[in-house]
Structure 1
Amino acid sequence: MSRSTAPFAGFEWLIAWRYLRARRREGGVSVMTWISLIGITLAVFALVATFAVRTGFRAEFTDRILGANAHVTLYHMKDGRIAPMPDFDAVTAKVAAVPGVVRAAPMVSAQVMATARGRNAGVQVFGERRSDLETLPLIETPERRWGSLDGFGGEENGIAIGSGVARELGLFVGDTVTLISPDGVKTAFGATSPRINNYKIAYIFQIGRYDIDRVRVYLPLAESQKFFNHQDTVDQIEVMVDRPEALGSSRAPDALTARIADAVPGMSVLTWKDTNGAYLQALTMEDNVMFVILSILVLIASLNITSGLVMLVKNKGRDVGVLRSMGLTQGSILRVFFICGASIGVVGTILGVVLGCLFAIYIDPIFTFVNTVAGGGVWDPSQRMLSQLPAKLVWWDVFRAAALSFLLSCLVTIFPARRAARLNPVEALRYE
């Protein structure tokens, strides 16, 4: 009479290990074992690597938004249009006093034509004080920079431009650029002639986001007020907060957004999620779809374990009959074959996680090698907005990938393991 044994006893592991390393002529399926192992490894690697790139892309994109743009924008609406704000210093002081606000700066914004060396480019001009510009994280400490903000404003009226603008117009620090605004000086006949001014380049910045580097130009606030006929007024107040990710939108404001609005009643409030929320929602949806698709890939790789174990059970039918006749219970047989399948899943998962983490850590040299082999041009910043391929390891993502692979490996192992456990020893040994 058979008696029960402790689950996952040492002899069960020993038998499982012997089956896994057995050669085909010994009734093993080592080739299928290797195929299953490689499949699981590659599937988990793809899952971890994709998670890292997607998380890195989202983090880099968000950091570029939050580091060079306002988290909250305040402006005054009149007759359905943005109206000039004459008392901007008082408004700025009130907003800066709100708990959670780390920066508040008055600003003039407009689009003009820039020309130099016979080239033209449409640019977006932001007029700010030098003291305020120096508090913009990605302008003060960008990815790359040329020149210095010490020359911004001053006697020479130095300005700051993005690296994309400089490249488009062929400009370097110390060169002169001409800005042309259609909203210029009114003539005696009532018409408006374009305003044309020349400015010296004092600072060139590259923050790594193409749509900012390619169009942005910073002028001193006083000069921009003259250039755009603002006469001691500004367009908006640029606000930055200590926790921008927690901000709501104008339709669903959070507590901080509500406090800012209460501090300056009558002002319109626009958060960064209002302007970029649709894109972030698209990224979230894409992440979820990608997770489902790659989960199916892991499932397909896990099914190789099932086919391998079915072959193993068929080849080891005689062994199962002998083991059962020696007193092993159905539970012991089930655990032996379960260990076989789960071990493949565990080892493949570990290898896949290691490869995925290494890919994320060393993505720059890997991508440089791929770009070199492909002859360059693999990554186009004008299409992807970022200057390089980002990757960021988040341990929750790594855990999700590992847990999914392990769970699926265990689940697909149960069917062939139960089939082996229910094998009748008499039938297995009848023709032996």
Structure 2
Amino acid sequence: LGVQVGQSITIINPAGRTTPFGTVPREISYEVAAIFEVGVYDYDKAFVIMPIERAQVLMLLGDEVGIIEIKTENPDKVNEILAPLLPKLENKGLIVDWKSMNASLFEALAVERVAMFVVLSIIVLVAVFNILSSLIMLVRAKTRDIAILRTMGASRKSLLRIFMTVGLLIGSSGIVLGLILGAIFLYFRQSVVNFIQLLTGQNLWDPSIRFLTELPSRTDPVEVLAICGLALLFSFLATLYPALKAASTDPVQVLRYE
């Protein structure tokens, strides 16, 4: 609305008092004492907070209220907390928790989370194929060296360990670097979005579509560890074929024409 602190706004209640000439809407002017932002677009664009007595006067409620809001210390257990109230308020009131109020938002986030998981899995697979191709080329380039090591007494198991160690070191280095870059991008996520918007000239994060005014972030340590473990497992699997290829090198065939 472009209203600043100290200015006034007029709120109209269409359901005003009934007079012989019809219903007269109630109009009351209020001074803006503060402007709040909770980060949820639907709340920030339409909610006004005022003393309950003034709200009752505006809405012609007398000494009654329309809604009672309860804040819990553990929102994830809201169903267990509200369970004792259900039989007491049966046929007298309706209980709506935060999950049902924001069901559409959670459904959109669930779909986006699945889509992002698929995309990121494909990226991890591409990285694994890069490790695989690099090790295969390394084995081809070091074929003569591998043959010399075999003639000097190196066993197949030792060659397996060498190339598996190289592959795991590459994968581990990528995981550590990815964690560092991920933490940096998460910390400066909104700045990154603003920078991309500045470069492209497009609004990438419209609160009216995204529901939230800023890009949220909540890191789950269990998911991070699971992703790191999965990436490390893929890196290990990618080393098996090149390592077996190196271990099966026949020094006689390689050094025949040396």
TM-score relative to the length of structure 2 = 0.87
Sort the Cα spacing of 1:358 and 1:199 in 2 relative to 1 into closer, same or farther, 3 A. Answer: closer
TM-superposed CA distance for 1:218, in Å, is 2.7
Q: Which residue of 1 aligns with 2:68?
A: 237
Secondary structure of the equivalent of 1:233?
A: coil
Residue 179 in 1 paired to residue 11 in 2?
yes
Aligned to 1:108: none
Aligned residue for 1:201? 32
Whole-Å separation in 1 of the counterparts to 2:73 and 2:149 = 67
Aligned with residue 82 of structure 2, among 252, 257, 271: 257
Q: Secondary structure at the match of 1:199?
A: strand
Change in CA separation of 1:236 and 1:365 when aligned onto 2, cut-off 3 Å: closer
**Which SS does the other structure have where 1:194 is aligned?**
strand
User: Residue in 1 aligned with 2:43?
Assistant: 212
CA RMSD of aligned residues (A): 2.5
Assess, with a 3 A threshold, how the Cα gap between structure 1 residues 403 and 279 changes in structure 2: closer, same or farther.
Answer: same
Q: Find the partner of 2:58 among 213, 227, 232.
A: 227
- Structure scoring higher RCO (CA < 8 A, sep ≥ 6) equals 1
CA contact (8 A) 1:309 1:341 kept: yes
Given that residues 295 and 404 in structure 1 are in contact (C-alpha distance below 8 angstroms), is that contact kept between their aligned partners in structure 2? Answer: no
Deviation at 1:411, TM superposition (A): 0.7
1:341 is paired with a residue whose SS is helix
CA pair 341-368 structure 1, distance change in 2 beyond 3 A = same
Distance 1:289 1:384 in 2: 16
Q: Name 2:187's counterpart in structure 1.
A: 361
Give the whole-Å Cα distance in 2 for the aligned partners of 1:327 and 1:333.
11
Q: Is the 8 A contact 2:157 2:247 kept in 1?
A: yes
> Structure 1: how far apart are the matches of 2:195 and 2:83?
50
**Quick one: structure 1 residues 363 and 409, their matched pair in 2 at CA, closer, same or farther if it must change by over 3 Å?**
same
Q: Which runs of 5+ in 1 are unaligned?
A: 1-167, 249-253
Within-5 A mapping of 1:371-386? 371-374=197-200, 377-386=203-212
Distance 2:5 2:142 in 1: 77
1:73-222 correspondence runs (5 A) = 168=1, 170-188=2-20, 191-222=22-53
Amino acid of the structure 2 residue aligned with 1:307: S
Instruction: Report sequence identity in percent.
Output: 38
Aligned residues: 257
Greater fraction of residues in strand? 1
In structure 2, runs of 5+ residues without a counterpart are: none
In the TM superposition, what whole-angstrom CA distance separates every residue of 1:176-235 from its partner, at most 9, and x where no partner exists? Answer: 22222221111226x323222222223322223222121112343233333333233222
* Counterpart selection for 2:158 from 317, 332, 338: 332
Aligned partners of 2:4, 2:222: CA distance in 1, in Å? 45
Take 1:272 and 1:395, find their aligned partners in 2: how far apart are those partners? 25
Report the TM-score when normalising by structure 1: 0.54
